[in-house]
Chains A and B, each alone.
Chain A
Amino acid sequence: MAYVITGLCVRDGSCAEVCPVECIVPGPEGDPQWGMAYFINPDDCIECGACANECPSNAIFPEDEVPEEYKEWIAKNRAFYEEGPGYSAR
């Protein structure tokens, strides 16, 4: 069960720095679709929680704890890597 970055993200970037498997990538700056947040690759996430620990805006949750109003971000994190730029945006 992967972790999910939600709309609370402020693009601080600490999450990406501590991720042991480097599976967090910022959306390209200014991009209308992806520019507002960082994204976690749900297939590579090892659920270590380091990102959630670091996040200054408490924007990151384990998938089954994502608040109702942010549930769409579950699919959005995956979409970033399947349809969006994914790791190439790093």
Chain B
Amino acid sequence: MAGSAQDYASEVKPTWCPGCGNYGILNALRQALIQVGLAPHQVFIVSGIGCGSKLPDYIHANGFMTLHGRPLPIATGARLANPGLKVITVHGDGDSMGLGMGHFIHAARRNIEIVDLIQNNQIYGLTKGQYSPTSDPGFVTSTSPEGALEAAANPVALALAAGGTFVARGFAGDPRHLADLIAAAIQHKGYALVEILQPCVTFNRKNTYDWYRKRVYQLEDTGHDPGDRVAAFQKALEWEERIPLGLFYQTRRPTYEEQVSVLQAGPLATRPLEKLTPAQVDNLRAEFM
């Protein structure tokens, strides 16, 4: 029984700044969940730490606001315990591309069925404006006085390289299109990345709504074939002048859960927890005799 906008409404008012891209992301996520027909109790949103990671408070669904950089392994544990839950991770660029970079690569390799929403505003917002792994080179902030000295991390390219089976990018300024992307991600069997470009209206004066609007374009308007991984890589490298949005790549390979034999009999979480049978006990004891 699908949820309605009312079902997903939370009493808690977001603490985000007026104009923050997170409003669009919240809006799009809610639309997507309604679109695919999920009810709040079927959804589990796991976030990290940051402005965007407060999202679970602002939507009525199961949620867990965890640790900086760690939503993916926590979500993975939840999936392995109960693949009946639709698990969505929500975290920023600092969380996913900084501290959590390792877990991100492994989640993509693992093809664990998680929708991974990365709120990329190319800055650290909640801690007030330091640069981020996705900041453009040369971006000056309090912790990058000479400008960011490193190449920017590229979530789309990294996910492709790690074997990601659904790799997409959306824009918080176009929540309708983003909602469709998220809906497709929810329905994808496997790890599904949706990198979401969003401005930080308070701290990032470079990558503003206008800056993005001048550059973004839809991949589907160019006849891009999302089944072509090499083409997807090429598109992933576009950034400075033109920024592709939409589905870069999608394929189907067995998910992690599908390959774990024990899970084929159903989720561990919904099985009754019982003591070992006498036969099982005898077998175990015999191993040591």
Binding site for B on A (CB under 8 A): 18-22, 44, 46-54
Contacts and interface: CB of A to CB of B under 8 A. Distances in A.
Contacts, number: 43
Q: Is the interface of A mostly helix, strand, loop or mixed?
A: loop
B172 interface: yes
> What is the interface residue range for chain B against chain A?
10 to 19
8 nearest A-B residue pairs (beta carbon): A50-B19, A48-B23, A49-B18, A53-B18, A46-B23, A50-B18, A46-B27, A46-B24
Given A46-B27, A50-B18, A20 B176 contact: no
Most buried by B among A18, A48, A52, A54: A48
Contacts of A48: 16, 18-20, 23-24
Given A47-B27, A48-B24, A50-B201, A21 B175 contact: yes
13 contacts: A18-B19, A18-B201, A20-B172, A20-B173, A20-B209, A21-B24, A47-B27, A49-B18, A49-B19, A49-B23, A50-B19, A50-B201, A53-B18
Nearest to B28: A46
A47 B27 CA distance: 9
A65 B200 CA distance: 26
A79 B157 CA distance: 44
Contacts of B172: 20
B258 interface: no
A59 B152 CA distance: 41
A22 B16 CA distance: 19
B50 interface: no
